[in-house]
Amino acid sequence: MFPNDENIVKFLLEFLKSENNIYEWQELKILQTLLKFNVRINRENIKFFLNSAKDTNKHYAVRGFYFLLAGKYGNNRDRELIVDSYDSLSETYTKLAVILAVQELGKASRNDFYSRVKRLESDVKIKQFVDYVKSLRNPIYYLTKEKPKIETYEEFEGPIYE
């Protein structure tokens, strides 16, 4: 509801760095939320995203979202660091996140990386995902979902068991 509110972002980042951040599902939801903001993120927090993405003790999905955040809010140097992390990844989900995270990398570097992935990767899904990301007109980091309308639930108004 408030994609430009820096106070919300500050609160969420402080929580992520705190000792209260103990549940992976909670961390994942916060990371998903941070992707939807349109604010500037400082260097310290981008370094936090990169370090968290490289932390092999974190769940692979959580690491994927940290890569996405570093790619979205970082600069080309940060995106190059993300590219350097690709070869050490084993989970497909995290690899897909890296491919998406570097979509705003300089054109030559990005295309070199995507070509290398397509040449060396054996997983067809990953190769197809590279083609999909290259076909995007504008960068995306998350998919928007349309909020359900009240009319959608009319079919549920009757008795559950007939």
Q: Which residues contact 113 (CB under 8 A, 6 or more apart)?
A: 83, 86, 102, 105
Beta carbons of 56 and 94 less than 8 angstroms apart:
no
Look at the alpha carbons of 73, 2, 17, 143 in this order and tell me if their dihedral is positive or negative.
negative
CA distances to 82, 96, 126, 127 from 92, rounded to whole Å, are: 15, 6, 7, 11
CA 74 to chain centre: 12
pTM of the full structure: 0.85
- Residue extents of the structural domains in the chain: 6-156
Per-residue pLDDT of the chain (162 residues; tens, 9 = 90+): 677 778 899 999 999 999 999 999 999 999 999 999 888 999 999 999 999 999 999 999 999 999 999 999 999 999 999 999 999 999 999 999 999 999 999 999 999 999 999 999 999 999 999 999 999 999 998 877 666 665 655 555 555 554
